[in-house]
Chain A
Amino acid sequence: MDSKDQDKDSLYLKLIPYFEKYGILLLLVIMIVVMHFLQPDVFLSWRNVTNVFKQISWQSMLALGVFMVIVTAGIDLSVGSIMMLSLMILAIVAKAGAPWYIVVITPLIAGFLCGLFNGLGITLLRMPHPFIMTLGTLYIFRGTGNLISGGTPISGFTDEVRYLGHGRIDLTWLGLEKSQYLPVSLVLIAIVYIIFWIFMNKTRTGKWIYAIGGNPNAARASGINVNKILVIVYSLCGFLSGIGALILAGRTDSGYPNAGLQSELDAIAACIIGGASFFGGRGTVLGVFAGVMIMGILRNGLNLMDVSSFWQQVLIGSIIVLAVYVDVLRRDFGTRK
Chain B
Amino acid sequence: MSSANQLLLEAKNVTKYFGTITALENVNLKIHAGECLGVVGDNGAGKTTLMKVLSGLYKPSAGSLHFEGKEKVLESPRDSQNLGLEMVYQDLALAGNLPIGENIFLGREPTTNLGLLKFLDYKKIKELTEAHLGKLKINVKSADQKVEELSGGQRQAVAIARSTAFNAKVVIMDEPTAALAIKEVGKVLDLINGLKKTGVGVIVISHRMDDIFAVCDRVMALFQGTNFAESELSNTSRDEVIGWIMGKK
Q: A203-B119, A204-B118, A211-B106 are in contact. Are A222 and B93 (CB under 8 A)?
A: yes
Chain A CB within 8 A of B236 CB: no
A205 and B107 CA atoms in complex are apart in Å by 10
Chain B CB within 8 A of A218 CB: yes
| Inter-subunit contact B97/A210 (CB<8 Å) | yes
| Inter-subunit contact B78/A203 (CB<8 Å) | no
Could you say which residues of chain A place their CB within 8 Å of the CB of B97?
210, 213-215, 281-282
Q: Which single residue of chain B is at the shortest CB-CB distance from A213?
A: B97
Chain A CB within 8 A of B62 CB: no
A220 and B55 CA atoms in complex are apart in Å by 13
A213 and B97 CA atoms in complex are apart in Å by 8
Could you say which residues of chain A place their CB within 8 Å of the CB of B94?
215, 218
| Inter-subunit contact A214/B109 (CB<8 Å) | no
Interface residues of A in 190-242 (CB under 8 A from B): 202-205, 207-208, 210-211, 213-215, 217-224
Q: A204-B111, A210-B97 are in contact. Are A222 and B118 (CB under 8 A)?
A: no
Could you say which residues of chain B place their CB within 8 Å of the CB of A214?
95-98
| Inter-subunit contact B117/A223 (CB<8 Å) | no
Q: Which single residue of chain A is at the shortest CB-CB distance from B95?
A: A214
Report the count of interface residues on A (CB-CB < 8 A). Answer: 21
Could you say which residues of chain B place their CB within 8 Å of the CB of A205?
117-118
A208 and B117 CA atoms in complex are apart in Å by 13
Chain B interface residue count: which class?
A: 20 to 34
Could you say which residues of chain A place their CB within 8 Å of the CB of B107?
208, 219, 222-224
| Inter-subunit contact B119/A211 (CB<8 Å) | no
**Cβ distance A49 to chain B, nearest Cβ, rounded Å:** 34
Could you say which residues of chain B place their CB within 8 Å of the CB of A204?
109, 111, 118-120
Residue-wise, chain B 209-225 has the 8 Å CB interface mask toward A (1 for contact) of 00000000000000000
Q: A211-B95, A215-B96, A218-B94 are in contact. Are A223 and B119 (CB under 8 A)?
A: no
21 contacts between A and B (CB under 8 A): A203-B118, A203-B119, A203-B120, A204-B109, A205-B118, A207-B98, A208-B107, A210-B97, A211-B98, A211-B106, A214-B96, A218-B93, A218-B95, A218-B103, A221-B89, A223-B77, A223-B107, A223-B108, A224-B107, A281-B95, A281-B97
